[in-house]
Structure 1
Amino acid sequence: MAGRPLSVEECDQLWQAWTPAEAAERLSSTPPCWYVAAGWALDLFVGGLGREHSDLEIGVPRARFAEIVDAFPGYEWDVGGDGHGWPFPEEADNQHQTWLREPATGPYRLDVFREPHRGDRWVCRRDTSITLPCDELILRTADGIPYVIPEVVLLFKAKARQAKDETDFLHTLPAMDRPRRSRLSGWLSRVHPGHPWLETLSNHRY
């Protein structure tokens, strides 16, 4: 990457993301500190593909990001955010996304969220009063791929409410039990009071 931020269009053209299974294989020797995040996490929770994905995000405690870096010798890292990309570590203190890039060919393979934590508790970037212990934050597929719980994903998706976020919400809601819906409702009421999803959540019945 040149020493200037890439535009949204330039970033989009460079993405050739791995699947969760491909990422998990490459991270198999890494300590258990990471998890699939965002839209892919919802598909792993539901157990089926809700839509196509142009990228792959994983989360990791900010303090343990170096362990992810160590798993990819020879790769390069860029900082992503606000529709741009910068050479790492530029803007790293101001952004939480970090993109893994193959230097030989240039495509981005993985987007790593460097997440705030207090000890062994995850801390929500949108509201630091929302925290969870790691054993509640992370679920696993039958073949062992770790992923973040759906209510965390949907809390973040609630802000943008792009078409894909609405699709993800409707795709995931039927698979969420009452405690998960209740927790999401509580978080949305705190972070996004009056959000349209609140009514959908309250009206949803099995």
Structure 2
Amino acid sequence: MDEYAWLAWTPEHLSQRLQHLARPWCVVGGWALDLWHGQQTREHNDLEFTVRREDFPLFRQTLSELKFYTVKNGAFECLPEHDLPGDDIFQVWGFDTEANAWRVDVMLEAGSAQSWVYKRDTSIVYPRAEMVALSASGIPYLRPAATLLFKAKNTRPKDQGDFTRALPKLSGEDRQWLVDHLQRLHPQHEWIADLTH
């Protein structure tokens, strides 16, 4: 598979397709920040959203026109129609064979309908209602502080740009949340100084 053959859906398009599915999900990554900003601030190569692992079959059924592939360590494997991703799989990409392009990047999470769990440290748990917000058009997205915490681990130029654009708009509560969790997980991160000055 060509991992660069992306022609991602927009969050709006995804939301329309999922509107009748009564299971928790939310946009993450760069698009989550742009939903928070209320406008697109940069180009996005993909569209990432999270679902609970146990709900994946329902999302797959709803997006049945896509062919799904598990992704691990850069390797892609076709996921047979009725198979579940293994417990060591946290990412599944959806491929549109008609368009010959990837459409969505599905992240599998361990949370419950009420609780959000940080994938990289499952001791970090918060009420889902506190971690997921809705855009003006009703699209669920991960709050900016948590989105930036994910981006902090391996900060690429686009992640730094996302942080720089978000910083002036972050609430005091979000700044403190991000500082607390950066100090816990990435205590030498340069963003800590930016957030506390």
| Gap runs ≥5 in structure 1 | 1-5
Report if the CA contact (8 A) 2:113-2:128 is conserved: no
Give, as a single letter, the amino acid of the residue that structure 2 aligns with 1:137: M
**Residue aligning to 1:76:** 67
**Residue aligning to 1:114:** 108
Q: Runs in 1 of length 4+ with deviation above 6 angstroms?
A: none
Q: Secondary structure at the match of 1:129?
A: coil
| Residue number among 192, 197, 200 corresponding to 2:186 in the alignment | 192
Q: Secondary structure at the match of 1:43?
A: helix
Q: State how 1:1-206 maps to structure 2 within 5 Å.
A: 6=1, 10-12=2-4, 14-88=5-79, 92-118=86-112, 120-203=114-197
How far did residue 90 of structure 1 move?
A: 8.8
Report if the CA contact (8 A) 2:24-2:113 is conserved: no
Report if the CA contact (8 A) 2:23-2:113 is conserved: no
Alpha-carbon separation, structure 2, partners of 1:97 and 1:48 = 26
Superimposed CA distance per residue, residues 81-104 of structure 1 (whole angstroms, 9 cap, x where no aligned partner): 323322126974323111111233
Give, as a single letter, the amino acid of the residue that structure 2 aligns with 1:62: R
Report if the CA contact (8 A) 1:55-1:111 is conserved: yes
Alpha-carbon separation, structure 2, partners of 1:50 and 1:143 = 17
Q: Name the count of aligned residue pairs.
A: 194
How far did residue 110 of structure 1 move?
A: 0.6
Q: Under a length normalisation based on structure 2, what TM-score does the superposition of the two structures give?
A: 0.92
Deviates most, 92-101 or 132-141: 92-101
Alpha-carbon separation, structure 2, partners of 1:170 and 1:121 = 29
Alpha-carbon separation, structure 2, partners of 1:192 and 1:104 = 42
How far did residue 62 of structure 1 move?
A: 1.2
How far did residue 46 of structure 1 move?
A: 1.4
| Gap runs ≥5 in structure 2 | none
Q: Secondary structure at the match of 1:160?
A: coil
Alpha-carbon separation, structure 1, partners of 2:192 and 2:149 = 11
Q: Under a length normalisation based on structure 1, what TM-score does the superposition of the two structures give?
A: 0.88
Give, as a single letter, the amino acid of the residue that structure 1 aligns with 2:69: D
Alpha-carbon separation, structure 2, partners of 1:155 and 1:93 = 23
Give, as a single letter, the amino acid of the residue that structure 1 aligns with 2:73: D
Identity %: 36
Alpha-carbon separation, structure 2, partners of 1:51 and 1:119 = 31
**Residue aligning to 1:3:** none
